Amino acid sequence: MKLSHIFCIGALCLSSTAMGAEAKLGSPSAESTFDLPRQILAELELAPKELVAGFVADDRKLKEFIAGRLQDMSMADYARQRGLDQEPHRRARHMVEERSELVHAAVLDFQQAEQAKLPDLEPLAYQRYLATRQQFAIPEQIRVAHILLRADVEMQSEEEIAQQKAKALELKARLDKGEDFAELAREFSEERATAEKGGELPRLAEKGRFVPPFDKAAWGLREGESSDVIRTRFGFHIIKLLERKPASYKPFEQVRNELVQAMQDEILAPRRSAFVDSFRGPTLDAKAGLLLPEIREALKSIITPVETDAAAPVDAE
């Protein structure tokens, strides 16, 4: 639904009020309908983008959303007419929420203004990157594939496990004769998730990533080399080292935004604190001192001591 359509809804509501129709209980008041399109659009701006995209593509859903908001507004007006918005606890909660939001908005507005004054921090961020590059170190990693024949002592007999080992040894012999590792993995590996990809495990791994026997065998291989048959708690493996990536560092381009943001925060944090502190001073503390006695006395009427049987007077006999 187009933006103009939403404004038409607001115009219709306004014309209804202008015609002098009496506002019925539960209908949006003239005041609440004065800027309906902007109210609804403001709420939509806060909604998830995928939800808004769904509304743009489907007039029925958008109309249902608008109807729901109008219904809520009508009920809110009904509550106001009954004075429910004037109940102390409700007014207090509303004031706390509004004050918290406005404080956050003030700090954000100040921070954005100060951020706009900052120079280009990228050169300084690069100098910090060079000085602290060790924190961006990437250890040596390997990429491997394997053929797995499962062997579970709790589920299989000794004979079945021996057969699995013999099968693994046979596959190793075929590999040594030049057969393709990936083809044998696709046909015989019993870990189907990796078998479909020629036995390749899904990601690069650092040392210690695998169970110890597998890890030791994998890290002892040269690129393109296949291991002997290895036994782990999962079964019998034949491992192939596909790639070995030496230790390196994340490139500056990858961490630039993180470093610039950290430097911005370091610069702006004391300015932000000073801005917040500027709203407090001797005058404010003096005013707090004047209000203290009145509020302390009022609190006494809120906090009522709990009477217990032990505190109740005992009748003398």
Residue ranges covered by each domain of the chain: 3-86, 140-246
CB 164, CB 157: distance < 8 Å: no
Predicted TM-score (pTM) of the model is 0.57
CB 144, CB 226: distance < 8 Å: no
Instruction: Give tens-digit pLDDT for 260-315.
Output: 999 999 999 999 999 999 998 888 889 889 988 888 888 887 776 554 444 444 44
3-class DSSP state of 303: coil
Backbone angles phi, psi at 202, to 5 degrees: -70, -15
CB 151, CB 162: distance < 8 Å: no
The reported pLDDT for the residue numbered 146 is 98
The reported pLDDT for the residue numbered 34 is 54
Q: Provide the sign of the torsion angle of the four alpha carbons 9, 12, 16, 17, taken in this order.
A: positive
Confidence of residue 73 (pLDDT cuts 50, 70, 90): confident
The reported pLDDT for the residue numbered 29 is 54
Residue 7 Cα distances to 14, 19, 30, angstroms: 11, 18, 16
Residues 21, 19: Cα–Cα separation, whole Å: 6
Residues 124, 141: Cα–Cα separation, whole Å: 31
3-class DSSP state of 118: coil
Q: Which fold has domain 140-246?
A: Chitinase A; domain 3 (3.10.50)
The reported pLDDT for the residue numbered 3 is 43
Matching residue, tokens 């696709």 = 186
